[in-house]
Every structure is written in C-alpha cells, then in structure tokens.
Structure 1
Amino acid sequence: MAAALAAAATLVPAAPTSAGGAAPPRAEASPVPAVGEERAVDVTLGSAGDQTRHEIRHPGAAYVKVHLARLSLAPGDRLTVADPAGREVHTYRADPTRGPAPRGDASFTRHGGTGFAAMSVDGDTAVVTLHTRKGRDSAATIDRYWRGYTQKEIDVKNPRSVCGADARRDAVCYKSSHPAQYAASRGVARMLKNGAGWCTAWRVGRGNHMMSNNHCVKNQAELDTIEVQFDYDCATCGGNDPRPGTKVGANALLRTSPALDFTLFNVDNFDRVTQFGTLFLETRAPIAGESTYIAGHGDTKPKRISIYEERDGGALCGVRNAQLGTEDVGYNCDTSGGNSGSPVLATSSHKVIALHWGGSCPNNIGTRMDKIYPQVQDLIDNRP
C-alpha cells in the first residue's frame, strides 16, 4: 500500500467538498528529502601552478557535483569532470556563464555568486582535468562540491513509513510484461535540486517541457540549481545496477502555481533527451476505482513503477477517492520521499491523470490534471 515520508504520515486528506460548502484547508506537501551536503575546497588547476588534474573523493558518496568559481580557457583547451572509469564525462570548452556554450558542451547549474557547477558524476569520486599545454594561460578554480549521502544516511535523515508491503519494482522488470507502462516511464527523470535534494520530473507534450511540483522548484533562482537525470534505471530487474543516464540542466521556468503545486519548465540540450519519449495529459476527471500507476524516483533510487497495491501480480493500485477538496485525488499506489513530482497515469489511456505531491495512510495525494491542464494548455502541445 501507500508508502510515504514519516514526516507526512500525519497528513490528513481533505474530505470531498459538499455542494455549496467551502473546501477544507489543503494538507502540506511532503518535504524534499535531504540527500547530500556541500563541502568547501580550494583547488586551482593551470596557470597558477603545474597541477592539471585533481580528484575529489568522498568515500561512499552516491554522487559528486563540482562547483567552479572560475574557468578561463585558451582556444582549443577544455576542462572535463568525469568518474574514474570514464562512464560519465562532462566537457566544458568555455565558461558557460560568460556567453553561449560551445556546441556539444555539457549542461551546467548556477548556485548564486560567481561560477557554475558541472553536472554531477555518480559514485564517490570526480576527476577534474584541465586539458591544456604548458605555457598557456588556461586555469580553473574549484571552490566547493556536493556529495551525495549514502543510503544509510538518507534513511536516517529522511525516515519514512510504509503502509503494508511496498510493491514497487524496477522499471525494467515490466519491460516485457507491461510494455506500455514501461514505455511511459521512459520520459520520467530524477531531479537534483541545489546539489542536495531529489524530486521527480517528467517530459510533457511534444516540445521542450517538463513538469514537477512547485514545492520542488518555486522560482527561477531555484530552477537555476536544477539538474535533470534521464534513464537512471537499473539495467536488470532487481540488479541494483543503474546506468548513469543522461544529465541536463534546467533552463527557463515557464509557469508555476503554489495552489496547484505544479511547475512547468524547459531544459538545456533538449536534443539529448528526446530519445526517452514524453507523456500526455488526461483532461477528464479521475474516476473512483479506476486503475492507475506511478513511475518515479522514490528514496532517490533508480526508477521504479508502482502498479500493484501489495504484491506483484496482486490487486492493482488505483483511485480511492476521486475528489479530495477541490483540486486533489487520492490513490493507493506506493510512493516515498523523492516521488514528489511523479506522474500518476491512468491505466486505461496511459495519460497523466494527476501530479503526485504527498502521501499518508491510506491515501497518497496528487493534484488532478483536469485542474492543471487549463493553466498550461496554451504552452504545451498535448496531442499524442
């Protein structure tokens, strides 16, 4: 049944609004889970000395995200941030905050002040290399980095409550048995906020549009810190062997609503993520008892899909209360911290019927898409 953050376990869903009555107050959304921390360093590569390579290692870290206070490159030089095995290599041929980035360069994020942060690398080590020749003026200064907590640290800092069994499975587990659900999950991504918090986001419509919760990203300043990771999926069912995926930075905030808890935005390097497909919006109201499913990155883990209520092959999860207050719907598909922003899809159409934002026992809760769609229909192409 529904899995939720313990911090949200006392959340009481609003009762259906009676005719002529005022809607009860809306419950608070689940908090964005803390999954990492910032660390200060002082490392200079290049013209200030002979060093051109530096490893940032934090034993056991889930990821490392490097911030550069300064990057000055002579023509033809470049800087790379990579993991030791070279599975992920993020290349920068210029400081992207000083003008248009050269074609092919990696995305970046901004975190206030000067400089920028490279895309993160999975694992506990980031190798920063200045590719230059002696006598050139290229230089880079690293002033800080973020490291991802271990799973044990995440569990301690973000206690959660599971109501009954957790029936979620790795997305790849359903590739053959539920191909439509698996295909829909491909457009769902993990979203790293300011180097230290996770939510879920997903492509919507035919163009460069992403949707998540307003409580995950409220304004452009927060969006500037957002890194979006597609294809962070296990390669084998139950194998705990995720791919590094494809990482891009968020770009422009297009529309947001605290009342409906949604944010619509676009991303840099959109051409790199079109291969993962997109989702479309269901514009009708939810129906009590209809089957639904959720794809997302609860507990910051590789993407999982919630199709069943208690066990794989058992009762399907679905809508328990089609109207909570004036904007929300209640359902019993499993979620946990990090699932905020996940799409809730109607099994009948494989379209998004709600935007997940919180959980409790016995209901998880999302904003009904028939309430959000009128607010974004002028911006997106919702034709399948």
Structure 2
Amino acid sequence: MMKSKIVTATLALCCLSPSFSYAQSTAPTIADEVIFTLSSETLTAPRTIVEHPKADFIKLHFKSLNLPQGSAIRLTSRDGTEVVQYTESQQSWFAQSLFGDQVLIELIPNAKGEIGQFEIDYYMAGNESLAESALLSTCGINERKDVACWQDSHPEKVSWSSPVARLLINGRSLCTAWRVGPDNRLFTNNHCVSTASELKQTEVWFNYQRTTCNGSLATTVKVMGNELLSTDYTLDYTLFTVDDFNKIASFGYLGLDNTEPVFGNGIYIPQHGAGNPKELAIESDKNGSGLCQIDIASTNGRGTHTDTGYFCDTIGGSSGSPVLNTSDNKAIALHHFGGCENQGVKISKIWTKVATFFNHTLPNGSVSQTPPQVRELIPNQPLNNLALSQGEEMLLMVKASNRKTNLTISISSGSGDADLYVKTGQPPTQSLYDCRPYQSTNNETCVAPLVNEDLYIMLRAYRSFAGVSLTATEKQ
C-alpha cells in the first residue's frame, strides 16, 4: 500500500471578516483563505493529505494541473462520502469543496503508468462561525427554522423549498439561489454573482438541509455555475445556468408571479441565511395574523419603486432567496435587502428583462410533495437494516467518481417486499428506469455497466419492509 503524506497548514492565514450594511450589498463570508504551497514535484508518493484542523470544508485552489491523457487526480473527503475526480488539465482554478477538515489527493496513472503534475497555491478553509452575523434582518424574535421543523404543520411549503440552494462563491462568500422553470435556469442576486468569471467559481449546493428538526444533514448535491444569462445592478438579479443539470433536475423548480404585490397577501421565504442548512421563514411576530405577509406593497430599492417590503425574517446569506406567495407558491419577489422591513425586488420588474429566456411565457412551478433526500451508497460498503412503510421511497446514489467497474446492485434479507429500481444519470421512477427486477421477495439484483455518470438507486416499499440490506458490489 502506498503511503500518504500528511500536510497540516500552519502557514499564513488570512481571515475574511464578514461585512454588513442595512442594504446587504455584499455577500457574507464563511471561509479563511490559507496561503499554502504544495507541488507534486516535492512528493515522494502519488498520495498526500491536506489537513486544516476544525475546518468545516476545504476547497483547494490549483495554480496548475497538468494531466497526461487517460490520467486523473482524485480528491476525497476525510469520511469518504465525497469524492471528485478531474481528468483535464487546468490553470488557476478551484476544485469542488469537500466537507470536513482533510482532503486526500491521489494521482491516478493512465495505461502507460504516466501521472499528472499539480501545484496548489492556497485553499479556503470553511469556518461556519464567520457567518454568525448580527441579526440585522431579524424583525423581533428569530422565527426562521430548519425546513424539517415545519414538516408537520406546513408540509406543502417544505416541498416548495426543494428547488432552493446555497451558493458558495469563490470558496468563501454565501448567498441563496433557486431553480426557476423546467429548464436549466437559476436566480440569485447581482450583488452575489455579477460576472461570468465569478459564476464559474461558484458552487450551488442542493439538498443542504437537515433530515429532521435540528437533526443530521442530508446528502448534499453540488454543481458548478456555468453560463451567466442576464444580470442587472438596479434590479439586483442574476439569471444563470449550472453544469451537470441532470444532477439537480429531481429537486423541482419554482414558478413566477409578475403581478404587483398586494398589502396583506401571505408570503414565506425558503433560504440559506448565514449559510445555514436550509430554513423557512413562515411566521412573523410583527403581524397580527402571526404569519409573514406583504407589509409594504411598493418601495424604493436600488431603483424607484422596484421593491416590496415584509417583516418575514432573513439574515446575511439569505440574499437571492425567493419570496413565495402562500396562495400559489410562486415567486413574487427576489429577496435582497436586510433591515426591518426586509425587501425583495418585484418579479414584475425583473420579468421584462428575462422573458426571452422563458419564451415569453411565465413558468409554473413543479416539485415532488416529498423533497428528495439522496443518500450516498459507497461500492462494497453494504447498508443494512433498511426499512420503509408501504408506498414510501428511498433514493440513493453511487457517485460517478466511485464507479470504477461494472456494479452489481442487490437487495437481500429482511421482511416485507422491497422493490429495486436503478438508473444512470438521473433518479429512476416507477415508469422510468434502466433495471427493475420485478421479484416478489427482497432478493433482487441489477447490473450497472461502467458509465462516467452518477448511478441512482430507488427502493420502494410495495409492502412495508424492514431489515433489508443493499449493496453495490464491484466486478472482481
């Protein structure tokens, strides 16, 4: 077994302090920039570890990466749940962030035994405490809660929060974004992302939320920003696309309402304030009804009468969140200003600027009534004692970077009747799949040929089941 070299950063640390004003015109920061030099030329083995104690995530910046054809570089988080692999040479770029305080770097040789060369010049070390900003946008008591805390009282609103994502910009800044319409389209604020180069260095985190109220985190799905379609300073919006769109298609999308906001109409705001796992603001102690509503129908923002106002709680990092109608769950505003009241740019103002990107047809929204929770399945590591009630579904994924051979996906053991569905590239459904064995027991098997895409596995309870084991076995 090859030895790994561990490199712990004790070099120059540049702390990026968050900055806020009444109008949250800059995105809060959530990471320390660590000046750090590491070159493959100084390594004695093709594996090395970069470690930053207590970091919430590490995002490596490569000054250069040169890969012979057929070779690769693989980055793995400490717990092994996140693995990314790159196969193309690049200059001056950020790799995807990985959760935890350690990253394993591996150079993978090609068929000729050739390996790549790299040079790292710095990295971002995630520090969640930097985002614990003063509550400039919390009006009265803080009433934002984890989305899962609202599941019993407001299940529909929880479902409509699914298309909302957290942004990590240049490895350190925070905002919120959301899918709009069925195609590859997302909104955030201009003061979050305003240039094409900035967008290319922006990660979009879907499903970054807790599985239960104040509980553990769900599996996060990360994609990168791609094309900046339209942006405007005065209306403080940016419309953009992402890479690997199929990875986030299952999270649904929001619709738009271009009518003028009306005083007293109910609203709610799904958001990633302070970079927190997704939260919902539904209630407001500033309103007699106890619920969020439009409190000022029209007010000035960066332009004259561009905004609408509300006491619904937000915080730094909530910028870019959708302000949704309670009546139809469509976005009526794009949140961007903090203070009491908080403010969002009216969709009625933004729509005229972006209509061409939607064929001049206002999009309606669509989400699953149960937001997808994607759990990662690691090859050769069985998941045991799985259980679901009749009609329930469980979605799992083998990441493309972990698919090195054909995989045999199998379920076994337990009681009841579990059904297995497998599909490459997107989550399967009851009518869309690559493999569905149709057995009347819990013993089902699918073979997934090697493809460089994520592999999705769905378990569905035809009858309630318990004690089932699931395994993805590599071909020997």
Task: Tell me which interval the TM-score lies in, with the shorter structure as reference length.
Answer: 0.7 to 0.9
2:29 to 29, 34, 38: 34
Instruction: List per-residue Cα deviations over 1:203-245 (Å, max 9, x = no partner).
Output: 1111101100011111112212211111101111112x22341
Q: In structure 2, what is the equivalent of residue 281 of structure 1?
A: 256
Q: In structure 2, what is the equivalent of residue 58 of structure 1?
A: 52
In the TM superposition, what is the alpha-carbon distance from 1:94 to its structure 2 partner?
1.9
Give the superposed CA RMSD.
2.1
Counterpart contact for 1:57–1:125, Cα < 8 Å:
yes
Q: Equivalents in 2 of 1:301, 1:185: separation in Å?
A: 14
Give the counterpart letter for 1:382 in structure 2.
L
Q: In structure 1, what is the equivalent of residue 418 of structure 2?
A: none
In the TM superposition, what is the alpha-carbon distance from 1:48 to its structure 2 partner?
5.9
Q: In structure 2, what is the equivalent of residue 84 of structure 1?
A: 78
Give the counterpart letter for 2:294 in structure 1.
V
1:204 to 180, 184, 189: 180
In the TM superposition, what is the alpha-carbon distance from 1:184 to its structure 2 partner?
1.3
* Distance verdict in 2 for CA 1:302–1:289, change over 3 Å: same
Instruction: List per-residue Cα deviations over 1:137-184 (Å, max 9, x = no partner).
Output: 422222211111242x433xx333443211111112233432221121
Q: Equivalents in 2 of 1:334, 1:228: separation in Å?
A: 23
Q: Equivalents in 2 of 1:223, 1:383: separation in Å?
A: 24
Q: Equivalents in 2 of 1:263, 1:383: separation in Å?
A: 17
In the TM superposition, what is the alpha-carbon distance from 1:29 to its structure 2 partner?
3.6
Moved over 4 A (4+): none
Identity value in percent: 36
Equivalences for 1:1-384 in 2 at 5 Å? 7-8=20-21, 11=22, 28-45=23-40, 49-95=43-89, 97=90, 114-132=91-109, 136-151=114-129, 153-155=130-132, 158-161=133-136, 162-239=138-215, 241-310=216-285, 315-325=290-300, 326-361=305-340, 363-380=341-358, 382-384=362-364
**Structure 1 unaligned blocks of 5 or more:** 12-27, 98-113
Give the counterpart letter for 1:50 in structure 2.
T
In the TM superposition, what is the alpha-carbon distance from 1:62 to its structure 2 partner?
1.8
TM-score, L = length of structure 2: 0.67
Name the SS of the counterpart of 1:243 in structure 2: coil
* Distance verdict in 2 for CA 1:125–1:137, change over 3 Å: closer
Counterpart contact for 2:61–2:92, Cα < 8 Å:
yes
Counterpart contact for 1:37–1:195, Cα < 8 Å:
no
Structure label with greater radius of gyration: 2
Q: How many residues align?
A: 337
Question: Comparing 280-289 with 160-169, which one deviates more in the overlay?
Answer: 160-169
Q: Equivalents in 2 of 1:250, 1:374: separation in Å?
A: 24
Name the SS of the counterpart of 2:356 in structure 1: coil
Give the counterpart letter for 2:198 in structure 1.
E
Q: Equivalents in 2 of 1:140, 1:7: separation in Å?
A: 37
Higher relative contact order (CA 8 A, sep 6+): 1
